[in-house]
Structures are given as C-alpha cells and as structure tokens.
C-alpha cells in the first residue's frame, strides 16, 4: 500500500509542484522586508496595505502562468479522495491557526504602549515563530512538497536573526529587510528554478490531447 | 520429485491490464480521481500515439471513461478509471499477489 502512496505523491507533484506557490510565498514574505523601508514615507498602515494590490497583481500573473505555461506542459488531475481529505483538513487547521495569529496580533497591537501589555518588538518574532512553521509545514504536508518545511523554519528564525543583526548595528529596521529579504530571495529563486526546469523539460506538445 | 508450482493464477491474470503500458496507465489512474492526457504522457513516458492506442483498448473494455472537451480553444481529454476498471485492477492485484505467493522462494 505504501508503494501506492508513493505513486500518488509523485503523480500529484508531477501536476501541482510548479514553483508558482514559492513565488507567491516569496511575495508574501517580501512584505516583512519592504514594509519597514517604506514605513517612513507611507506610514505604518499604508506600508503594509500597499501590498494588497501588489499581491493581487502577483496572483493574476501567477494564475496566467499556471494556465498558459504550466498546465499545458504538466497536465492536470483531480486528486484521489484521501488527498482531497488531506487538503481539506490542512485548510481548516491553517485557517484556525491564522485566525488565532490574527486575533493575537490585533490584541497585542492594541496593547502597545500600555503598562500591562507591552510586548512591543516581540510581536513579530512570537507570532511568526509560532505560526510560520505550522502554516508552511501544513502546506508541505498537504501538497507533498518537502521544501516548504525549511521555508517555515527560515521565516520563523528570520526575525530573530534580524533582531540580532540590528542589536549589533549590522542592519537597520530590526534587520527585517535583510533577514526577510534573504528568505524571500531564497523562495523566489527556488520557485523560478522549478518553473524554468518545467519549461526546459516539458516542451509544449505539438499535438496536445490528441487521443 | 517435487511437483512444479502451479501457474494457474498467471493464466487468470486480466490480459487487458497485464500489458506493461496499460498496467502503468491503470496504476496512475487508480491513485487519482481523474487525470488529463498530458499528465499521463508525462508520468508514464508513453508517446501520444501509444497513449491513444492503449486508452482505446481500456475504453473498449469499460475500464476507463474518456471525456473530450476544450480548455480555452485547445482540445482537452480527461480520463478516469470507471468502477468496473477499479474493480478489475483490484482483482488483478489480488491475482498477481496470489500468483507470486505460490512461487518458491529460491531455485533450490
């Protein structure tokens, strides 16, 4: 039975592991790198909020690439029932974890400056350190893509490394631009490398679907 | 003198599935709900011509259902194992397992 699981994993990855999710993840992580740089010009709110339309544009590009570049080369599938259940379970757990992180973030942000709840600069490390490994691991588990696990670890330790760089006067803005920027570049590089490998190894069929 | 092992189980193997290319296709389709022709070409290493030939055979046997449509302006073929095909594959696996189990462990 385990052999069938391995065949299923390979088949699923053959259709779905296209590197585009890595690109979207890199776009998400880049917010933590760029927002501190833009905050002086745009303010705290808009330096993050501006990523809404940027992500949406990125999503449209990714969707176009998936439809016009990846799918004609890799093909598509409807996963088996066990995989569908796994995706559903992971989605539910991920939603709950993100909602908890969101609520904690809002509560902590509202407590800024107060005597009773001044976590201040620990908000990002705590939230990301606990959320990122779970979310990235769930993604890796549900899609059977191993490289998402180290992504979670990288995102979790990035604020700690950034903080260390900042405290040693090696980087500005708590080191976030350097630390998260590096993680985003790693994700982007891996994603684009995967995408280019697909384009190289899977030329468009001359007479597609001709059966 | 010991009797040679029976090969009855091998004779019972479903010859539609037993062809290596079709066995690969059936295995791929067994682990998903459905897949399109491009994915099957990629995962099995068959050519488009071979895929078409073997799919026709499997369709004639009622083991797969083939839905032809369009994705945008391009033709798109989605293939799924039918209930009969899934049952036949389970039977094939059980028969093959029984056939292998009756073989001696070594030549001595």
pLDDT tens, B32-70? 999 999 999 999 999 999 999 999 999 999 999 999 988
Between the alpha carbon of residue B27 and those of residues A10, A143, A167, B56, the distances in Å are 12, 20, 57, 17
Phi, psi (degrees; rounded to nearest 5) at A12: -65, -45
Domain ranges of chain B: 15-98
Whether the complex's predicted ipTM is more than 0.90 is answered with no
Whether residues B33 and A76 touch (CB distance < 8 A) is answered with no
Query: What pLDDT sits at residue A174?
Result: 78
Q: Which residue has the higher pLDDT, B3 or A8?
A: A8
Q: Over 80: is that where the pLDDT of B107 sits?
A: no
Distances (CA, A) of B52 to A2, A53, A95, A209, B79: 30, 45, 43, 9, 11
**Max CA pair span of chain A:** 71
Residues of B with CB under 8 A from a CB of A: 27-28, 30-43, 48, 51-52, 55, 66, 71, 74-77, 80
Half-sphere exposure of residue B52: CA atoms within 13 angstroms, side-chain side: 9
pLDDT at A161 exceeding the cut of 60? yes
The pLDDT of residue A1: 52
List of chain B residues whose C-beta atoms are within 8 Å of the C-beta of residue A81 = 33
Please name the residues in contact with B61: beta carbons below 8 A apart, sequence gap of 6 or more: B16, B85, B88
Which CATH architecture group holds B15-98? Orthogonal Bundle (1.10)
Q: Which two tokens stand for residue B31?
A: 């682990």
Q: Which of B34, B66, B76 sits opposite A77 (nearest CB)?
A: B34
Q: pLDDT, tens digit, for every residue of A54-106?
A: 889 989 999 999 999 999 999 999 999 999 999 999 999 999 998 988 887 77
At B66-94, the pLDDT tens digits run 999 888 788 889 999 999 999 999 999 99
Q: What is the pLDDT of residues A123-145, one digit of tens each?
A: 667 777 888 889 999 999 999 99
Interface test with A, best of B21, B38, B52 (most A CBs within 10 A): B38
Query: What is the pTM for the complete model shown?
Result: 0.83
């Amino acid at each position: 039975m385990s052999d069938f699981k391995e065949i299923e994993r390979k088949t699923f990855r053959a259709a779905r592991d296209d590197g585009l999710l890595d690109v979207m993840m890199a776009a998400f992580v880049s917010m933590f790198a760029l927002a501190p740089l833009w905050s002086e010009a745009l303010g705290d709110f808009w330096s993050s909020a501006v990523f809404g339309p940027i992500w949406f544009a990125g999503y449209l590009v990714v969707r176009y690439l998936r439809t016009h570049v990846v799918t004609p080369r890799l093909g598509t599938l409807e996963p088996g029932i066990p995989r569908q259940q796994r995706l559903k379970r992971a989605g539910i757990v991920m939603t709950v974890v993100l909602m908890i992180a969101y609520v904690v973030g809002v509560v902590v942000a509202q407590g800024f400056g107060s005597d009773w709840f001044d976590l201040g600069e620990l908000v990002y490390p705590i939230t990301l350190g606990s959320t990122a490994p779970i979310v990235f691991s769930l993604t890796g588990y549900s899609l059977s893509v191993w490289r998402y696990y180290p992504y979670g670890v990288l995102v979790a330790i990035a604020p700690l490394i950034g903080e260390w760089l900042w405290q040693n006067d090696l980087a500005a803005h708590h080191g976030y631009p350097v630390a998260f920027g590096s993680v985003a570049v790693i994700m982007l590089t891996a994603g684009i490398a995967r995408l280019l490998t697909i384009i190289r190894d899977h030329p468009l069929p001359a007479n597609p679907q001709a059966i | 003198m010991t009797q040679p092992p029976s090969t009855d189980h091998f004779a019972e193997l479903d010859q539609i599935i037993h062809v290596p290319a079709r066995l690969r296709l059936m295995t791929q389709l067994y682990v998903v709900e459905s897949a399109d022709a491009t994915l099957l070409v990629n995962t099995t290493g068959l050519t488009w011509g071979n895929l078409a030939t073997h799919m026709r055979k499997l369709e004639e046997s009622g083991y797969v259902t083939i839905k032809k449509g369009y994705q945008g302006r391009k033709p798109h073929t989605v293939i799924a194992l039918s209930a009969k095909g899934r049952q036949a594959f389970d039977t094939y696996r059980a028969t093959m397992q029984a056939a292998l189990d009756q073989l001696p462990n070594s030549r001595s």
